[in-house]
Structure 1
Amino acid sequence: MNPEDLNDRLLHRDGLMLILDKPAGIPVHRGPKGGASLEDGFDVLRFGLPRAPALAHRLDRDTSGCLVLGRHRKALEKLGLLFKQGKIGKAYWAVVEGGPVEPEGLIDLPLARRDETRGWWMKVDPQGMPSQTRWTLLGRADGRSWLALAPLTGRTHQLRVHCAALGWPILGDPIYGTGRGGPTPLHLHARSISVPMSSAKPPVAAVAPVPPHMEEALAACGWVRSGEAANVRLDIGT
């Protein structure tokens, strides 16, 4: 994407951090094989500071939504600690194939790498790292369900593996679902984030708008497009 377009995707900006609405289909950083990445354009987000902001965490290539950047070293250290301690609130929206019967629940399944040749591909493994995801059913239609997912831990591909393990893979997932080689993109969106940067102030909160590729499936499950713009917080500061 054009680096200048990043300005239009800002959800929050202050002296410590930025929150971007990451588009689906582009990696956040350059992989071992090279190629374009989101951080290639971060220089346009300096806003007067001597260095470009840097990633405080990651989102998968095909996941859209709230992405936090630290604007300098001390901010990145603070953000890194908050993510490590699980103090940053994250909520994802997903459309899954099938879906749960209950209205809400907790997935508590440890995860480990599938094998060394699969890179970041993961699997449920009793000997793996503890991994927990809370979920809430928001709607359903035509054999699909709209879920809100809150990862309590931050394992690689956690939400995708957890949903698939319970029999409801995320729509369009090419690794853990039925989306390989198909035209349907991954229907996973980092909907909102809450960052408690200061004990003296309320957490910084942002909501990312629903990406175009998810609108049809979400609308079928009961999401209402009207009023969507009012949910997105844009708080431009320093």
Structure 2
Amino acid sequence: MGHERSPKLTEVQIKTVESQDADIRLDRWFRARYPGIGHGVIEKLLRTGQIRVDGRRVKASFRLEAGQKVRIPPIQSTACAKQAKQIKINKKVSDALGQTLVNSVLHLDEEIIVIDKPAGLAVQGGTNISRHIDGVLDALSFGKAQKPKLVHRLDKDTSGILLLARDRVAARWLTRDFREQAIVKTYWALIVGELRPVKGVIDAPIGKTIRENSEKITVNPKDGQTAITHYAIVEQLGRKASWVALRPKTGRTHQLRVHMASLGTPIHGDGKYGGAKAFLDLQGISKKIHLHARDILVRRPNGKELFITAELPSHMKSSWSQLGLDSKNYRDPF
């Protein structure tokens, strides 16, 4: 699955806040359940008193308590409303990799394309890399005179959401928003070991280290670049492993992998930074890196929001099943 669609709300609903959602902001609680409904719409419904908590008017920043009743009015998801206007993805291309990208499109409009990048596929070329997304962007033109432009990157072994600009104007504001940290990205990972505290912020500069003709990114407080990662455990599997959500504030190369390894809890499958400790000794768990760009929130210059999610890749989906984890139980911990 790609774009996560909110259900149509055709009548007033009353939802009870569950214990695991206590202390979450109301707007974030709402968006986790109805991601297609933009922040502006939520704010308007709150101002007009259509969304209420225990019968009272509240603000978007109101923090919920277990057992409270949230009134949700009839409303149609903005994602559903836009769906009819979205461009049809019907282009056929001869190149196998190009066709793979066409099939991976999660969202397409006049400004933006969002694809679900497969794990193992490089975004750009480099030493010994001849097969990469940048080389076949023409396949994603969809009637435009120019091919789309890359505005951010994902590691080769990371799967999930990759956003592309369809023209120069979109490329400028998207590049600016990524640089100014206005675009919110959330990753899911399976980490090895016991992470403490269960929620926190890693503020550890990182930089490139060259040793014996090999390059590696390491924590480097003296000469490294600022690197900040917010993290939270979604579900803990004893002391052996945890499903974590990661929200990078900065976008340094291998940042999430280096930061998790620096805490002694490497991402499963990441032997480069975690060594032998980065592999769970459990039957049926793939040895591939378990790091997935799960969702992205973009606010356009006109104030409208775009929120897209990507399902877990097959190797992580299989691991989730083996470990008894259920993606449907996820609630934004930030």
Q: Which category of TM-score, normalised to the shorter sequence, fits these structures?
A: 0.7 to 0.9
Conserved? CA contact 1:52–1:71, under 8 Å: yes
Distance 1:51 1:172, change over 3 A: same
Gaps of 5+ in 2: 1-95, 280-285
Match of residue 101 from structure 1 = 196
Residue 2 of structure 1 aligns with which residue?
97
User: What is aligned with 1:122?
Assistant: 217
The one-character-per-residue Cα deviations of 1:142-177 (angstroms, maximum 9, x if unpaired) are 611110000011111110000000000000013102
Cα separation, 2, equivalents of 1:35 and 1:157: 21
Does residue 278 of structure 2 align to residue 176 of structure 1?
Answer: no
Query: Aligned partners of 1:46, 1:107: CA distance in 2, in Å?
Result: 39
**How far did 1:5 drift?**
2.2
Q: Which has the higher contact order (CA 8 A, sep 6+)?
A: 1
Residue 3 of structure 1 deviates from its aligned partner by 1.3
Do the aligned residues in 2 keep the contact of 1:91 with 1:190 (CA within 8 Å)? yes
Asked if the contact 1:20/1:66 (under 8 Å) is kept, the reply is: yes
Alignment-mate amino acid for residue 217 of structure 2: M
* 1:219 counterpart residue number: 321
SS of aligned partner of 2:274: coil
Helix, strand or coil for the counterpart of 2:134?
helix
Match of 1:113 among 175, 196, 208: 208
- 1:79 aligned onto 2:181: no
2:297 to 194, 198, 217: 194
Q: Is the 8 A contact 1:21 1:67 kept in 2?
A: yes
State the superposition RMSD in angstroms. 2.2
Q: What secondary structure sits across from 2:258 in the alignment?
A: helix
- Which residue identity does 2:266 align to in structure 1? P
Per the alignment, residue 133 of structure 1 pairs with 229
- The residue type equivalent to 1:205 in the other structure is F
8 A Cα contact 1:53 1:71, kept in partner: yes
**Hey, what does 1:19 align to over in structure 2?**
114
Match of 1:153 in 2: 250
In our comparison, the structure showing a higher alpha carbon Rg is 2
Q: Which residue of 1 aligns with 2:4?
A: none
TM-score when normalising by structure 1: 0.87
2:154 counterpart of 1:59: yes
Q: Paired residue for 2:306, among 187, 204, 208?
A: 204
In structure 1, runs of 5+ residues without a counterpart are: 229-238
Q: Counterpart of 1:47 in structure 2: which amino acid?
A: F
Rounded Cα–Cα distance in structure 1 between residues aligned with 2:159 and 2:120: 8
Instruction: Read off the aligned partner of 1:147 and give its amino acid letter.
Output: V
Identity between Structure 1 and Structure 2 (%): 37
The 1:204–1:34 alpha-carbon spacing in structure 2 relative to 1, beyond 3 Å, is same
Give TM-score scaled by structure 2 length: 0.63
Looking at structure 2, the residues matched to 54 and 199 of structure 1 have their Cα atoms a distance apart, in angstroms, of: 21
Q: Which moved more, 1:155-164 or 1:142-151?
A: 142-151
